[in-house]
Amino acid sequence: MKLPIYMDHNATTPVDPRVLDAMLPYLRGSFGNAASRNHSFGWEAERAVEQARGQIATVIGASAKEIIWTSGATESNNIAIKGVAAMYRDKGNHIVTQATEHKAVLDPCEYIEEHGCRVTVLPVDQYGVVDPGQLREAITDQTILVSIMHGNNEIGTIQPIGEIGALCKDRGVLFHTDASQSFATLPINVDEMGVDLLSCSGHKIYGPKGVGALYVRRKHPRVRCEPVIHGGGHERGLRSGTLNVPAIVGMGKAAELCGETQAEEIQCITALRDRFKDGLFTRLSDTHLNGHPTRRIPNNLNVSFKYVEGESLMMGFSDIAASSGSACMSAPLEPSYVLEALGVGEELAQGAVRFSIGRFTTEEEVDYAIERVCATVEKLRAMSPTYEMAREKKRKKRGQATLSAGSPLPPKGPSR
């Protein structure tokens, strides 16, 4: 086993060697611009881009013509939200989302709200699940888009996407989902789920960074977006800019590999995740699972350790790469807004750590992580006066319970 151990796959994944092998030719001899249609270098690059487009589409049950290349899921989310808001402004100006979305959804929503749109942010329950009934009530005749993520990047909770999609179809509202954490790692079919726009990213599926895609439905209904980036009319006018051919090839290959091994990989990663969780919860008391206990993405484990601060905890096991929140947040020491939305108290929120395992994680690494995390928590709690006070309270309660459950005292004799 090699140290350090990487357990932050929700932040990014390592590039699969097979993906790198697919990319290398397009970093060397096949370096053409996919928009250069006057010679073989450009034709070869264009063929590679179209093949990758088909690989992405196959994973989600779409057509290759419905895939638009972007620089990542953040850009895809911006195109979906800002683009729909601009294109359909004559039809309505209302968008619905929910409180635990990634900032790449919440910030564009805030932006369009500043420019005349109305945004409804739905609450979630204690597990981070949005209520479709509340969504139904929030939709009005001015609603043009609902944006609800598939799997949460911090707590792993999976939303009822199929039910939400059917509701949106019934009300004639477009439905966008950020599938960055679930794309190619959970079964997705955009038709069956009623999804009209879907965002995904290469570096979450063992592909390169700096590339992503946006699925845009072409029929039933045909979805149109105003471009966010202008200059050249690439990607059917939706996203201008010279395509990153090597990265696109890599993302396509990564998606293909995930699709081929999806069922087996879900089973394997889920087993490792549960082994990790059981190891922690068996040994440590005052430990809380954040997110839905069963309806969560396979690789995510978000745990709060009471009486311990998350940043201090991670310093104690610096040979394990984990996260105290979203990797995309600029102020990681702030309490997680996702955990706050679940009603997790500040103490538990401050003691939260996100572990996320992946394709190359081993049982040996998981067992090592269990030992290191438990030992660190125990050591920090031993130095915590708050923890000692809590233990003393528990001892007193147990003593009182034992006394009340014991034999009754004999009656007092007559007083003299």
Q: Which of 109, 200, 268, 328 is catalytic?
A: 328
Buried (b) or exposed (e) across 134-147, using 16+ Cβ within 10 A? ebeebbeeebbbbb
Q: Which residue has the higher pLDDT, 150 or 403?
A: 150
Joined together, the tokens standing for residue 365 give 């690494």
Looking at residue 330, what is its pLDDT? Answer: 45
Pick the CATH number of 262-396 from 3.30.56.10, 1.20.120.10, 3.90.1150.10, 3.40.50.11440: 3.90.1150.10
- C-alpha 103, offset from chain centre: 11
* DSSP category for residue 235: G
Strands 300-305 and 352-356: antiparallel
Partnered with residue 95 across adjacent β-strands are 119, 145
Looking at residue 295, what is its pLDDT? Answer: 97
Cis peptide before 221 (omega within 30 of 0): yes
Span 63-83, average pLDDT: 97
Where do the structural domains in the chain lie, given as residue ranges? 17-258, 262-396
Task: Assess whether pLDDT exceeds 90 at residue 57.
Answer: yes
Looking at residue 404, what is its pLDDT? Answer: 61
Looking at residue 398, what is its pLDDT? Answer: 64
Q: Is 258 a catalytic residue?
A: no
Task: Assess whether pLDDT exceeds 80 at residue 202.
Answer: yes
Domain 17-258 has CATH 3.40.640.10: yes
